[in-house]
Amino acid sequence: MDALTRRRFLIASGVAGGGALAAGAGVLGLAELLKLATRDDSGDHRKRNKLVLVTLYGGNDGLNTVIPYADSAYYSARPELAYAPESVLRLDDALGLNPRLPGFKRLWDAKRLAVVLGVGYPRPDRSHFRSMDIWQTGSPLTPVHTGWIGRWLDGTKAPPESAVSFEPVLPPLLAGESRSGACVSIGGLTLPDGISTEMVAALGRPEQDEPLAQARAATSYADMLQVERLVRQAGPAEGTADDADHLELPATGTGGAVSLAAQLSLVARCVEAGVPTQVYSVSLGGFDTHAQERVGHESLLKQLDQALTGFVDRMTTTETGRRVTVVVYSEFGRRVRANASDGTDHGTAGPVLVMGSRVAGGMYGEQPSLGDLDDGDLKATMDFRQLYGTLVESVLRADPARYIDGYQGVRLPIFPDD
Amino acid sequence: MNDVALLLRRAGFGPTAAELAAAKQAGYATTLSALLSPPGPDIGSTTAPVPRLGLDSYANQPKNDKQKIAANQKRDAQTWQITRWWLDRMAVAGHQALEKLLFFWHGHWATSIDKVRSPQLMLRQLQTLRDSRDFADMARRMAVDPALVYWLDGQANTKESPNENLARELMELFMLGIGQYSEKDVKEAGRALTGWRVSVGSERCVFEPKNHDAGQKTILGVTDTFDTRGLVDLLLRRESCPQFIAARLWYRYASSTEPIPKATSERMVAAFPAPAAMLRALFEDEAFAAGAGALVKQPVEWLVGAMRQLGIRVGGLPDETATVILDGLKSLGQLPFAPPSVGGWAAGTVWLTSAAAQVRLGLAGTLATLANTDKLTPESVAYLLCLDGWSNRTYAVLRDVRDPRHLLTLGLASPEYLVT
């Protein structure tokens, strides 16, 4: 990033000390600095809780993530894929973490990792597509157009930067009826040849007498510029010498997708810079392990462990960061029994991981029994709507019944300061 | 009143300047008849014939991982091929209103290749929708359409282990609308639909009597030994069925925010089950004319309309350029053959996200470089894109731009061009 933007970021995020602040005053100009300070002081958004949703696409094998190492049924169902009891990172006398998750184990020991067991929904669907849709819309029984976060954006009349994804396509969970989250391109705003931000800003001004939909179309350009501006203030590094610290943006993953670590790095920057975003959506794909599961799954879990523990550790170092809660979920688990290709096919319920400073670490709910299966699949012991309701209430401070249809009103005690 | 430009924008994917000029000459009534009962065959579409895909690559059941990978790659390539083909076909079809209506039905019986996986079955479904005489015929065929049945787990619906997915959506999303039936009706209707197996090779559903529940069922108060045809006919006889279809047409062609007025609904219901006649009733209705500017263009409508007006054939572009366009459309959230859920695509302002704004600008830039642009002014861009004119805001931006490509990019991205 250029010197001025970086300076602004450092000041805003509190990384730079008094010296830098004094030096920055000259660079930024007094008026601009004051504006920034005003925003930071008055902004109660710094005191607001923040939610980071981590979607694992493809169906994460829950049984090989949180492992029932003391259950002989686990070993007989998938002899080639099971982890020996001595290799598992033990959480209690029944369950342990995959050996590739040492960072999660450390968070568990520090009581900052909650494991919500057997999470699913009624009438489980084994299509990736439909099941992910069900999780993201939060509506297992009837298809709806809005995501559960999107409905919260609608209900709170939230500005566009309230919910942000760093992926190119808006995930359904951020889509509301009248509003939606913003997708921020990691490379920053790129406009076609000959089109300037001034032109786009001018197109973004709604007119008094135009049809509502047309005015909304205009506003979307203004929204786009506003979100880009906000994120740019916290913006990504572009290889300047003083960026060679933990603020460096990691490389993107293969296939053009942005790596989880890179996405989380941007989230960290935004949180620390005081960007008024409350919900971030990030993701990691590739969990559809039908064949030769072990190697692929371990590599994914290692990425997940490193990216998330790095992020959670970093978040504990600032006051705004300590308001961040991370939630990791997938559209379904895998079948209990391995298939003939040393992989597993689409299954049902799985564990959801919740981490952060506000979290009371420990087990929540009940591990589904391997002795009581539904046609070879785990029976969900907790409806995801119970977890969503808890997040809406305890993290977003909103009324769950308004946004989660079918919420039973039983809040999980994951957030003790509530 | 009787805004012929509005009629053309809504009934088709977007008129060319020449078509609009001709329609203004011909008048509303003549234009409407030509749209809904076009004389003669569709000459335009002959330049975009339906792709011949051959047998589905899974028809001969690949045996090992290597064969499966090859089969999947072939399916992916063919998926891309049919998506590109249909977009091209939409643009060149002379029978614009019928092609647009087909896109409506695709979104109505919203089936996604993301689950079905077979391009052959998706193409088969599209042909079935195209060949259906009216809604009654269509409903009877769709209830045993292999893509739809697979999409909604109909092949897993047996006497021994019923799956009510297809039954539920048949009532809720395809024929009656929510609230017109009970959970008990769904369960019983599910029994009526048992016994079908999807055959990928023959591209049809095969009835397996041993898996069919031939017993008595009570559905919507009627007791009989319903099978699939019996169930569909029962639903077609319900009063709520024509009303529901009228309301769905209204939602896509008139307003996604205002409910259908009672009088409009009655006029459309009287023309059921002929969709073109229902549309005629709608387009002749005052309520239709009153809703100008209320609909947000779906990304496919925006893109296909622009390609028509700029004379761009996505079928004739180099593969890399076509990929840029299809990727852009995907980022905007709407690829044909891949609706996001069985509820179809959303409508209205959901298309107007900040993320879409950036993608649309980029895509507009790409289209502008593909167009033949000699000399353009703000006025001639409005003429080319068949807009009534510019708002002061947009005109102020355009007036200082000299490069025709930049002018066109801004015109395609303008708020005026995003609604009808």
Residues B215, B110: one domain? yes
Residues B187, B281: one domain? no
Tokens representing residue B148 in the block:
């739809």
Cα angle: A225, vertex A230, A231; to 5 degrees: 100
Instruction: Tell me whether residue A18 is in a domain.
Output: no
**Residue A273 structural domain:** 40-189+243-403
Residues in chain A closer than 8 A to B401 (CB atoms):
194, 199
Residues B223, B254: one domain? no
Residues B186, B112: one domain? yes
Half-sphere exposure of B11 (CA within 13 A, CB side): 36
* Closest CA relative to residue B282, chosen from B251, B239, B241, B256: B251
Q: What is the share, in percent, of chain A residues with pLDDT greater than 90?
A: 55
CA of A255 to nearest chain B CA: how many angstroms apart? 14
Give mean pLDDT, residues B28-52.
Answer: 96
Give mean pLDDT, residues B30-52.
Answer: 96
pLDDT tops 60 at residue B1: no
Instruction: Tell me whether residue A207 is in a domain.
Output: no
Residues B276, B206: one domain? no
Instruction: Tell me whether residue B20 is in a domain.
Output: no
pLDDT at residue A179, rounded to an integer:
78
pLDDT at residue A185, rounded to an integer:
66
Residues B230, B262: one domain? no
CA of B191 to nearest chain A CA: how many angstroms apart? 17
Band of the pLDDT at A344, cuts 50, 70, 90? confident
Instruction: Tell me whether residue B151 is in a domain.
Output: yes
Question: Which one of B114, B173, B348 has the shortest CB-CB distance to A129?
Answer: B114
Band of the pLDDT at B161, cuts 50, 70, 90? confident
Band of the pLDDT at A233, cuts 50, 70, 90? low
- The tally of domains found in chain A comes to 1
Between A390 and B163, the more confident residue is A390
pLDDT at residue B331, rounded to an integer:
84
Chain B residue closest to A206 (CA)? Answer: B393
A178 close to B260: Cβ distance less than 8 angstroms: no
Residues in chain A closer than 8 A to B396 (CB atoms):
202
List beta partners, residue A97: A66, A89
Give mean pLDDT, residues A317-341.
Answer: 93
pLDDT tops 70 at residue A36: no
Half-sphere exposure of A120 (CA within 13 A, CB side): 24
pLDDT tops 90 at residue B367: yes
**Which residues are CB-neighbours of A114 under 8 A, at least 6 positions away?**
A353, A354, A355, A359, A360, A361, A362, A363, A364, A414
Instruction: Tell me whether residue B46 is in a domain.
Output: no
Give mean pLDDT, residues B19-43.
Answer: 96
Residue B223 CB-density burial (10 A; 0-12 exposed, 13-18 middle, 19+ buried): exposed
> Is A207–B392 a contact, with Cβ atoms under 8 angstroms apart?
yes
Instruction: Tell me whether residue A32 is in a domain.
Output: no
CA of B181 to nearest chain A CA: how many angstroms apart? 14
Q: Read off φ and ψ for residue A343, nearest 5 degrees.
A: -135, -170
Band of the pLDDT at B344, cuts 50, 70, 90? confident
Instruction: Tell me whether residue A277 is in a domain.
Output: yes
pLDDT at residue A33, rounded to an integer:
25
**Chosen domain end from B206, B237, B268:** B237
Residues B265, B148: one domain? no
Residues B276, B169: one domain? no
Q: What is the share, in percent, of chain B residues with pLDDT greater than 90?
A: 85
Residues in chain B closer than 8 A to A197 (CB atoms):
none
A296 close to A286: Cβ distance less than 8 angstroms: yes
Between A387 and A276, the more confident residue is A387
Q: Which of residues 55-74 of B touch A (CB under 8 A)?
A: 65
Question: Which one of B172, B357, B369 has the shortest CB-CB distance to A221?
Answer: B357
Instruction: Tell me whether residue B322 is in a domain.
Output: no
Instruction: Tell me whether residue A329 is in a domain.
Output: yes
* Mutation for testing the B interface, residue in A126, A186, A193, A195 having most B CBs under 10 Å: A195
Average pLDDT, chain A: 81
Taking only the tens place, the pLDDT of each residue in A234-257 is 554 333 333 333 333 333 222 235
* Mutation for testing the B interface, residue in A131, A153, A203 having most B CBs under 10 Å: A203
Question: Which one of A182, A192, A215 has the shortest CB-CB distance to B409?
Answer: A192
Which range of A19-23, A368-372, B175-179 scores highest in mean pLDDT? It is A368-372
Which amino acid, residue A94?
A: A
Question: Which one of A169, A177, A220 has the shortest CB-CB distance to B357?
Answer: A220
Tokens representing residue B339 in the block:
């609706």
- The tally of domains found in chain B comes to 2
Instruction: Tell me whether residue A214 is in a domain.
Output: no
* Mutation for testing the A interface, residue in B3, B116, B354, B399 having most A CBs under 10 Å: B354
Instruction: Tell me whether residue A95 is in a domain.
Output: yes
Tokens 């913006």 label which residue?
A: A235
pLDDT at residue A382, rounded to an integer:
96
Band of the pLDDT at A169, cuts 50, 70, 90? low
Q: How many other C-beta atoms lie within 10 A of the C-beta of residue B286?
A: 11
Chain A residue closest to B114 (CA)? Answer: A129
What is d(CA B303, CA B44) in angstroms, rounded to the nearest whole number?
18
Instruction: Tell me whether residue B191 is in a domain.
Output: yes
Taking only the tens place, the pLDDT of each residue in B299-311 is 999 999 999 999 9
Taking only the tens place, the pLDDT of each residue in A54-110 is 999 989 999 999 999 999 999 999 999 999 999 999 999 999 999 999 999 999 999
Tokens representing residue B243 in the block:
């009303």
What is d(CA B168, CA B142) in angstroms, rounded to the nearest whole number?
14
pLDDT at residue A44, rounded to an integer:
67
Q: How many CB pairs under 8 A join A and B?
A: 154
pLDDT tops 70 at residue A168: no
Taking only the tens place, the pLDDT of each residue in B252-266 is 999 988 899 999 999
Question: 3-state DSSP call for residue B40?
Answer: coil
Residues B281, B202: one domain? no
DSSP string, B153-212: TGGG--SSS---HHHHHIIIIIIS-TTSS-HHHHHHHHHHTTTEEEETTTTEEEE-GGGS
Between B156 and B317, the more confident residue is B317
Taking only the tens place, the pLDDT of each residue in B322-342 is 999 999 998 888 999 999 778
Give mean pLDDT, residues B171-182.
Answer: 91
pLDDT at residue B83, rounded to an integer:
98
pLDDT tops 90 at residue B286: yes
**Residue B262 structural domain:** 250-289
pLDDT at residue A14, rounded to an integer:
25
Peptide bond into B273 cis (omega under 30): yes
- Output the domain CATH number for residue A78: 3.40.720
ipTM (interface pTM): 0.94
Average pLDDT, chain B: 95
Question: Which one of A176, A195, A221 has the shortest CB-CB distance to B406?
Answer: A195
pLDDT tops 70 at residue B173: yes
Sign of CA dihedral B319, B325, B326, B330: positive
Residues B72, B137: one domain? yes
Give mean pLDDT, residues B46-51.
Answer: 97
Between A252 and A179, the more confident residue is A179
Instruction: Tell me whether residue B299 is in a domain.
Output: no
Report DSSP state, residue B347: -
Report DSSP state, residue B272: T
Chain B residue closest to A224 (CA)? Answer: B354
Chain A residue closest to B333 (CA)? Answer: A169
Taking only the tens place, the pLDDT of each residue in A209-230 is 999 899 989 988 988 888 777 7
Residues B78, B215: one domain? yes
pLDDT tops 70 at residue A40: no
pLDDT at residue A45, rounded to an integer:
65
Give mean pLDDT, residues A358-381.
Answer: 95
Instruction: Tell me whether residue B43 is in a domain.
Output: no
Residues B212, B105: one domain? yes
> Is B114–A143 a contact, with Cβ atoms under 8 angstroms apart?
no
Give mean pLDDT, residues A39-64.
Answer: 82
* Mutation for testing the A interface, residue in B351, B353, B409 having most A CBs under 10 Å: B353
